[in-house]
Amino acid sequence: MSTERVPPGPREAKPAVQRSTVMLAAPDAAQIARTLIEKYGADALAFARERAQCAVEVGDELALDAWRLVIEATQRGLRQIADD
């Protein structure tokens, strides 16, 4: 059994984390809104707002931005249903 030590290789630089300013595309937000409306009806907006508040409480700005898009899409969806 060999006890030869292999020297560690050079450390590879980790790429910088790049954050997109828009993590959730509008079509995705619209789909989530439709799903929430199907599941919760008029309470879908309250659900989305509660999730946004949770994001605020934990300081998750990316999630907050995403939930804001979902809230807007949910409001549009509920208005459309009311107008039909």
By CB neighbour count within 10 A (0-12 exposed, 13-18 middle, 19+ buried), where does 71 fall? Answer: buried
- pLDDT above 60 for 43: yes
Confidence of residue 24 (pLDDT cuts 50, 70, 90): confident
- pLDDT given for residue 62 in this prediction: 93
pTM of the model: 0.71
- pLDDT above 50 for 52: yes
- pLDDT above 70 for 76: yes
The rounded distance, in Å, linking the Cα atoms of 6 and 21 is 43
3 state SS of 37: helix
- pLDDT given for residue 20 in this prediction: 44
Ordered by start, the domain boundaries in the chain are: 26-83
Confidence of residue 8 (pLDDT cuts 50, 70, 90): low
The rounded distance, in Å, linking the Cα atoms of 42 and 12 is 52
